[in-house]
Amino acid sequence: MADLSVKIHKLNLKNPVMLASGTCGFAEEINDFYDVSQVGGIFLKGTTLRNRDGNEYPRMAETASGMLNAVGLQNKGVDYFIETTYPKIKDYNTPLIVNVNGSTVEEYIELTEKINELDKIPAIELNISCPNVKEGGMAFGITCPGAEAVTREVRKVYDKTLIVKLSPNVTDIAEIAKAVEGQGADSVSLVNTFLGMAIDLATRKPLLSTITGGLSGPAIKPIALRMVWQVAQAVKIPVIGIGGIMNTADAIEFMLAGASAVQVGTGLFKNPFIPLEIIEGMKKYMEEHKLNNITDLIGGLQM
């Protein structure tokens, strides 16, 4: 019997296939299609201390094998999450992870303290890589001192599993990963979106209201894979691979490159069932390759 379970610090996942923040809402939207308890974990929509309306429309542009988005962390704020959303989703039988965002270190801390009170949230994903907000967000994630500062301060107030989501818009992502590991991060997830843009030839104007936005989808997969490989060699903490995963082969590539688990993101827009297809595909792959534990694949790249 194939064992798909993996561990991310204190998090025991039934399988390594999770849903990426910003692409699965607050889990209910995917639960409209199937029982979300089947996936390894769910990274909820980016949450901030206070309500955010996000950026103006248009926020999306389709690109070759992918898309740009400039949502800008639209969410109703952490108090609404705690009072209204959390009671509805807390009993889903899979780890729910809150994606934590702030414009200042103090905001990250205050938000983390509030989430820490919730029994059914076993981990947070510290988002220091959102490219679509004017303050905070990616600004913290593109320098080692910035990434270190947020991680260190949040670590002081949070004992559960702390995952830091990294930006690919840096010169050396492995350096940033080492920096957050040094400040107590339990895991890193990567990558967030790549900063990009698109122009309407008819109007000669940018297609996004914010001019630039985050590129995601299969277009970024090879770069994300390379970054996961580099980071996995540089740190000892578990790495969660994200970036254009559409099928079983993509997911296994990330695990061979060193990821202990993966997140399916933009692929969900195309087909919310992709995570279940990957879980089935992994079982088949393990059978064909006579593997008992999916963990045998982690970092299994042959040189």
Partner 1 sequence: MGKKAVGDFTVISNRKLNQSNFLLKLAAPGRLPDISPGQFVNVDIKNAKEIFLRRPFSIFEADYSNNTLSLIVKILGRGSKVLTEINEGDKISLIYPLGKSFTIPTANEKILAVGGGSGVAPLLFLAKESKLKPENVDIILGARSAEDHIQVDEYKKFANLHFTTEDGTLGAKGFVTHHPVFREKLNTYDKVYACGPDAMMKAVAKEAKAAGVFCEVSLENLMACGFGVCLCCIEPTQHGNKCVCTDGPVFNINDLKWQI
Catalytic sites, residue numbers: 130
Among 144, 212, 269, 283, binds partner 1 (CB under 8 A): 269
Q: Does 131 bind partner 1 (CB under 8 A)?
A: no
CB of 101 to partner 1, least distance (A): 14
Stretch that binds partner 1, among 5-13, 134-142, 176-184, 265-273 (CB under 8 A): 265-273
Among 40, 137, 196, 218, binds partner 1 (CB under 8 A): 218
CB of 279 to partner 1, least distance (A): 16
Contacts of 85 (CB under 8 A, 6+ apart): 26
CB of 245 to partner 1, least distance (A): 14
CB of 78 to partner 1, least distance (A): 16
Which is closer to partner 1, CB of 12 or CB of 37?
37
Q: Does 135 bind partner 1 (CB under 8 A)?
A: no
Per rule CB under 8 A, count of chain residues that contact partner 1: 38
Which is closer to partner 1, CB of 38 or CB of 295?
38
For the chain, report the end-to-end CA distance as a whole number of angstroms. Answer: 29
User: Contacts with partner 1 in 54-93 (CB under 8 A)?
Assistant: 54, 57-60, 62-67, 69, 71, 74
Which is closer to partner 1, CB of 269 or CB of 296?
269
Which is closer to partner 1, CB of 202 or CB of 303?
202
Give the residue among 184, 261, 191 at the shortest CA–CA distance from 228. Answer: 191
User: Contacts with partner 1 in 1-40 (CB under 8 A)?
Assistant: 22-25, 29-36
Which is closer to partner 1, CB of 77 or CB of 184?
77
Assigned token pair, 117:
């009170």
**Secondary structure in 3-state letters for the chain:** CCECCEEECCEEECCCEEECCCCCCCCHHHHCCCCHHHCCEEECCCECCCCECCCCCCCEEEECCEEEECCCCCECCHHHHHHHHHHHHCCCCCCEEEEECCCCHHHHHHHHHHHHCCCCCCEEEEECCCCCCCCCCHHHHCCHHHHHHHHHHHHHHCCCEEEEECCCCCCCHHHHHHHHHHCCCCEEEECCCEEEECEECCCCEECCCCCEEEEECHHHHHHHHHHHHHHHHHCCCCEEEECCCCCHHHHHHHHHCCCCEEEECCHHHHCCCHHHHHHHHHHHHHHHCCCCEHHHHCCCCCC
Among 143, 212, 233, 271, binds partner 1 (CB under 8 A): 271
Q: Does 141 bind partner 1 (CB under 8 A)?
A: no
CB of 122 to partner 1, least distance (A): 22
CB of 244 to partner 1, least distance (A): 10
Which is closer to partner 1, CB of 60 or CB of 174?
60
Q: Does 223 bind partner 1 (CB under 8 A)?
A: no
Which is closer to partner 1, CB of 156 or CB of 270?
270
Q: Does 173 bind partner 1 (CB under 8 A)?
A: no
Four-residue CA torsion sign, 123, 17, 68, 220: positive
CB 59 within 8 A of CB 209: yes
- Pairing mode, strands 11-13 and 205-206: unpaired
Report the interface residues with partner 1, using CB under 8 A: 22-25, 29-36, 45, 51, 53-54, 57-60, 62-67, 69, 71, 74, 217-218, 266, 268-273
